[in-house]
């Protein structure tokens, strides 16, 4: 039978594997998707409820109020902010704006699993560069991988799923080595959780380098994963191009209102972020006390470099009531969750150590 063919690039795409969910009626701690364990603030819930009355109307296509609120929060030009349906969608729009078929995108690996998918959909060719020891990005190797065909380099900091953040001196040397006509995307989905004093300042890099674009999200620190709000910060000319490729009305009115309300409550929300950071440090300390070699995480998750034992660990963890995210052959990512979840995960990890 003759069939409508798919684009070869689409047929070859790796599937995106979401974090495991508990079966209906089953009880388990979900530490598989890097979600914020806290529900939205009451003020944010009120904004969501208010917005529900207007879902018969299209949202503001350019998310004007939200864009201005983000710009004020970051002290950047509103024309530099582009919102979208989560930072993954915004990344796709960035790639669509600058990549043609056959262009190269240099990316670290292992890193965020949506990268190869977004690159392939854009028609570009991904150039993965292995991580350095300790789950860190190997920026010198990434710079060396840049060729005349390279249009974009993706820098995930902190790196998902391993956790370390790029240091300021590393990023400075990297940006000095990358040609100015190559776009450098700093994916800072977990930036609010960073406490490493040596970590790079993405906003400072953006201010100093016209070819730097920032990606950020309201899914993690702000606890709006279910509403899908992300954004890019770019020079106005680049931002206009990214905006032109964006899905019209891509951020719902409810999501816009919730994100604006979250920015207004930033101080209150950052108290919760610090609680997650404290829980992360407790989890890291507990794992290291058991003898695990765990990278320094600056995100809201930790990484167990289990290699081929990753799937078995995840299965044993699920049987004990904790869902984690295995990457078979590499390791297991464990999100920071409730205190009880951390306690149970440490018990599971202790048994795995034998």
Judgement on whether residues 274 and 291 belong to the same structural domain of the protein = yes
Strands 330-335 and 325-327: antiparallel
pLDDT number for residue 132: 98
Residues ≥6 apart with Cβ < 8 Å to 18: 33
How far, in Å, CA of 293 to CA of 167, rounded? 21
Q: Of the candidates 264, 298, 318, which is a domain's last residue?
A: 264
What does the pLDDT read at residue 24?
A: 47
What is the mean predicted confidence (pLDDT) over 316-322?
94
Which residues form the domain of 325?
Answer: 17-34+267-353
pTM of the model: 0.95
Per-residue confidence (pLDDT) for residue 23, from 0 to 100? 60
Segment (H or E) for 302: strand 301-307
The count of domains in the chain is 2
**3-state SS assignment for residue 328:** coil
pLDDT tens profile 333-350: 999 999 999 999 999 999
Residue 298: closest CA among 202, 194, 184 = 194
Domain assignment present for 255: yes
Domain-located, residue 339: yes
CATH number at residue 24: 3.90.1150.10
pLDDT tens readout for residues 12-27: 888 877 777 766 445 6
Chain centroid to CA 84: how far?
14
Whether 8 is in a domain gets the answer: no
| Gap between the Cα atoms of 230 and 88, Å rounded | 8
pLDDT digits (tens, 9 = 90+) for 269-293: 999 999 999 999 999 999 999 999 9
How far is CA 148 from each of CA 52, 91, 151, 180, rounded to the nearest angstrom?
49, 22, 8, 12
Which phi and psi angles does 128 have, rounded to 5°? Answer: -75, 140
Rounded to an integer, what distance in angstroms lies between the CA atom of residue 214 and that of residue 335? 23
232: domain CATH number is 3.40.640.10
Residues 105 and 74 in one domain: yes
Q: Over the stretch 88-121, which tens digit does the pLDDT of each residue have?
A: 999 999 999 999 999 999 999 999 999 999 999 9
């Amino acid at each position: 039978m003759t069939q409508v063919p798919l684009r070869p690039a689409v047929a070859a795409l790796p599937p995106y594997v979401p974090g495991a969910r508990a079966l209906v009626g089953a009880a388990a701690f979900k530490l598989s998707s890097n979600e914020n364990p806290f529900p939205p603030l009451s003020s944010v819930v009120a904004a969501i409820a208010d917005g529900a009355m207007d879902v018969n109307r299209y949202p503001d296509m350019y998310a004007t109020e939200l864009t201005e609120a983000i710009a004020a929060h970051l002290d950047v030009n509103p024309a530099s902010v582009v919102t979208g349906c989560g930072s993954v969608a915004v990344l796709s729009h960035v790639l669509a704006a600058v990549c043609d078929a056959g262009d190269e995108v240099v990316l670290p690996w292992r890193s965020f699993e949506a990268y190869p998918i977004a690159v392939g959909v854009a028609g570009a060719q991904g150039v993965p560069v292995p991580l350095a020891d300790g789950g860190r990005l190997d920026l010198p190797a990434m710079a060396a991988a840049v060729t005349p065909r390279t249009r974009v380099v993706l820098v995930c900091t902190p790196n998902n799923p391993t956790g370390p953040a790029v240091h300021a001196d590393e990023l400075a040397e990297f940006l000095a080595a990358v040609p100015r006509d190559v776009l450098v995307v700093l994916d800072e989905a977990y930036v609010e959780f960073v406490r490493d004093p040596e970590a790079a300042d993405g906003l400072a890099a953006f201010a100093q380098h016209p070819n730097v674009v920032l990606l950020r999200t309201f899914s993690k620190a702000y606890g709006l994963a279910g509403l899908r709000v992300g954004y890019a910060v770019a020079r106005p000319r680049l931002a206009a191009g990214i905006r032109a490729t964006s899905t019209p009305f891509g951020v719902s009115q409810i999501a816009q209102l919730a994100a604006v309300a979250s920015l207004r409550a930033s101080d209150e929300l950052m108290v919760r972020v610090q609680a997650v950071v404290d829980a992360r440090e407790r989890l890291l300390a507990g794992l290291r006390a058991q003898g695990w070699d765990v990278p320094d995480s600056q995100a809201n998750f930790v990484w167990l470099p289990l290699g081929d034992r990753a799937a078995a660990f995840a299965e044993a963890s699920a049987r004990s009531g904790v869902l984690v995210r295995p990457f078979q052959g590499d390791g297991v990512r464990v999100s920071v969750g409730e205190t009880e979840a951390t306690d149970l995960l440490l018990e599971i990890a202790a048994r795995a150590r034998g």
